[in-house]
Every structure is written in C-alpha cells, then in structure tokens.
Structure 1
Amino acid sequence: MSIILGIDPGSRITGYGVIEQKGSKCFYIASGCIRTKGDTLAPKLNMIFNGVSEIIKQYQPTEFGIEQVFMAKNPDSALKLGQARGAAIVAATQADLYVCEYSARQIKQAVVGTGAATKEQVQLMVMQILKLSGKPQADAADGLAVAICHAHTAQSLVAMAGKVKKTVRGRLR
C-alpha cells in the first residue's frame, strides 16, 4: 500500500491529488488547488511551499510525483513555473520524500493511453479510474493524473525488475 501525492505546479494555481495504491488499484483520498495571491513571486512561492508542506503533514504520503517543466512560448512563464516546481520539490524533500518527475506526455499516456490527450480526456479518465462521482477542478484533476501516472509507472518498474533474469549488453533478458 502506498499513499501518493501528485503535484501539477503553477505560480497562480498548483493542483494536487492524493491517492492510495493497493496492488494495481488506485483509490481517491483528496484533491484540490493551492491558490496564490499577490503580484510578487516570492510570497507566491512561500504559499506553494507552505501549502504542499501542509498537505504532506495532513496525508502523510509515502511517494511524490510532480509534472516537469515544459518549454512555454513565453520564457518568463517557464521560469515562474520552474520556481513553483522548486518550492513544491523542497517541501517534499524536507519531508524525506523521493521526488519523481514526469513529462506532460508521460502523464497523459499513463492515464488516457495517448500522449496527445486533451485536458477534458484526462479529467474523464481520472474520474473513471478513481470512480469519482463528479468532475474535479482542472488543476486538481491534473494533480490526480500525476499521482496515477506515478502509481502505474512505479508498478511497471517493479514488475519489470521482478522479471529481469539478466542483462546482456544493457538489454533486459
């Protein structure tokens, strides 16, 4: 059994999702958004750090996944996103959680089955996988999707490791 915290970082809205993984099944625990206020970046980063720290304290996750920075058209936006990620990552490492990072394409592939999925498709699959009665907020759904991606990826890696008999020239046999 693992409790997984997934984070979809943002300088204005950071989505999070907490799930429990038992075997191959995922169960919903909580989700939501950390909404920052103000115009300057430093207080926003502090709010993200404190918000993620509080979520970790409340739900005691054993695993942590976060979405990687993508190259935005606006370099300033990409820098702010990277700094928001940093605040969340520091909160996780301060709680002695190992940080796993996933690209948006990896997350969509793990949840929907295609790396080109839309936000709506991700939301619908998150609802189905976790058996939610209502549609979660977009950013919260993204946080849940990160957690689901981590659950599926970690499970696959463990399964592969168990089946590996030997490696020959770097290839698994």
Structure 2
Amino acid sequence: MRVLGIDPGLRNMGWGVIEVSGSRLSHVANGVCHSVGDDLAGRLLSLHEQLTEVFRAYMPTMAAVEQTFVNKDGAGTLKLGQARGIALLVPAQAGVPVAEYAPNQIKKTVVGVGHADKRQVQHMVAMQLPGCHFDSADAADALAIAICHAHHGGAASRLAAAIGEARR
C-alpha cells in the first residue's frame, strides 16, 4: 500500500509518500506545494496542479489529510478550508480513498502524546522512516499524517486500495 499524507495549507501544502508492507514503513518521497498567484483562485489552482503532479509521479493507493481545527481567525480558517478542499479533491479525482485525522490523533500516533510540538514530530518521523530527509515542517507533518494512516487505516483501507488498483 502506498500512502500519501497531505498537510493542507494555502501557502505551503506539505506532502509525503510512504510505502506500507505489513508493519514495515518506508519513505518514498516528500515535499511542499507552494501556491503561486495573486488571487485566491489562482493560488488554489496552482496547488491543485502541483498536487495532481505528485499523484502522477508517485501513484498512491491511499491518501490521508489532516482535519482543520477552528481558530479565532475565521477568515484564516475559511481559507485553510479551501486549501483542504484541494487536498480532498485531488485524491478523489484519481479515484483514491481519502481518510481524515485530527491533529491530536496524528501526534499521539507518531509521538505518543497528542500535544507534541513540531520538533518532536519531526524527530519521530525521522526515527520511523530511517534515511528520510525533509526540508520543511510541512513535509514532516505530511509524513506524520501518512504514518498515522498506516497505523489506523486498517483492513477497510487495504480493501479499498486493492479495489482502486484493480480499477486502474
């Protein structure tokens, strides 16, 4: 099973791909889609195009996206939600099942505590994916989301992935 984790963001959308074979996890690739453009529609389009290219290049069979948390800045939350829409749309267009995980569940799965900081997440991602290098916290977070899905995706996810592969 090949899992794409996506850390949604309007400026920087982190992504990370891992291979899952039983309980063994291995790093495939990671990076960040940087939005380009002056208006919101153009920025969303650039994220869509870049994430679509990630799908073409790495052909994941499953995707996982971090759920949005609501903060005090309603406008910022709405914009993040629109970027999240791109993160959900691209896998759906590819016919790939998408799971969603709360930030605390991701941290608890990867680090062991739900309120871990960014450094702890990065450290544990590097420990669980030996030889993995990432240039940003966004890419590390995306890998953490993929790791979370590898542990919680279960048999239903593997069945959905097998069905998706059979359809290709």
TM-score by length of structure 2 reads 0.89
CA-to-partner distance for each residue in 1:99-153, whole Å, 9 max, x for gaps?
1000100100110011010011000000000013645410000010000000011
Label 1:37 to 1:107 Cα distance change in 2 as closer, same or farther (>3 A). Answer: same
- Count of residues paired in the alignment: 156
Deviation at 1:25, TM superposition (A): 1.3
**Aligned position for 1:61:** 60
Contact 1:123 1:136 in 2 (8 A): no
Distance in 2, matches of 1:145 and 1:76, equals: 27
**Aligned position for 1:151:** 150
Distance in 1, matches of 2:16 and 2:134, equals: 13
Deviation at 1:39, TM superposition (A): 3.2
Poorly superposed stretches of 4+, deviation over 2 Å? 132-136
Distance in 1, matches of 2:102 and 2:61, equals: 21
TM-score by length of structure 1 reads 0.86
Between 32-41 and 97-106, the greater mean CA deviation after superposition? 32-41
Label 1:133 to 1:147 Cα distance change in 2 as closer, same or farther (>3 A). Answer: closer
**Aligned position for 1:80:** 79
Determine what percentage of the aligned residue pairs are the same residue.
46
In structure 1, the gaps of 5 or more residues are 160-173
Indicate the structure (1 or 2) with the bigger Cα radius of gyration.
1
**Aligned position for 1:163:** none
**Aligned position for 2:42:** 43
Distance in 1, matches of 2:9 and 2:132, equals: 26
**Aligned position for 1:114:** 113
Distance in 1, matches of 2:119 and 2:146, equals: 17
Distance in 1, matches of 2:37 and 2:111, equals: 35
Distance in 1, matches of 2:88 and 2:13, equals: 12
Label 1:127 to 1:40 Cα distance change in 2 as closer, same or farther (>3 A). Answer: same
Contact 1:28 1:130 in 2 (8 A): yes
